[in-house]
Amino acid sequence: MITKDEVLKLAALARLDFSDDELDKIIKDMDDIIAFADTINNSVEGDADKIRNVSSKATPAEEFREDVVKDSLPNEKILSNVNGSKGMFCVKGGI
């Protein structure tokens, strides 16, 4: 069972706030979902420890992107989804 403290810690990491009512609900939901997630530990016949690392093929570093400059976008575009100020993203208040 997940504790209220654990849920509050997760919520803080995820930057989410739950009211007291919501907290009861999310604790219950988390319990259900974690119990469901726990079923990965139910052993499956013939599966016990056969972990086969098949998808970890690595790509030669030489095939990655060339270091060639491309045009950046104009400041108006960068700020087009927000009320910016002085060419910057801007939030009232400190941090």
Restricting to residues 34-93, which ones interact with another protein according to CB under 8 A? 34-42, 44-47, 50-75, 77-82, 84-93
- Rounded Cα gap, residues 4 and 76, in angstroms: 45
Number of residues that bind another protein (CB under 8 A): 75
Residue 20 CB, nearest approach to another protein (Å): 14
- Cβ proximity to another protein: between 20 and 64 the closer is 64
Q: In sequence order, which residues have a C-beta less than 8 Å from that of residue 26 and are 6 or more positions away? A: 7, 18
Q: Rounded to whole angstroms, what are the CA distances from 45 to 37, 42, 54?
A: 18, 10, 20
- Cβ proximity to another protein: between 20 and 38 the closer is 38
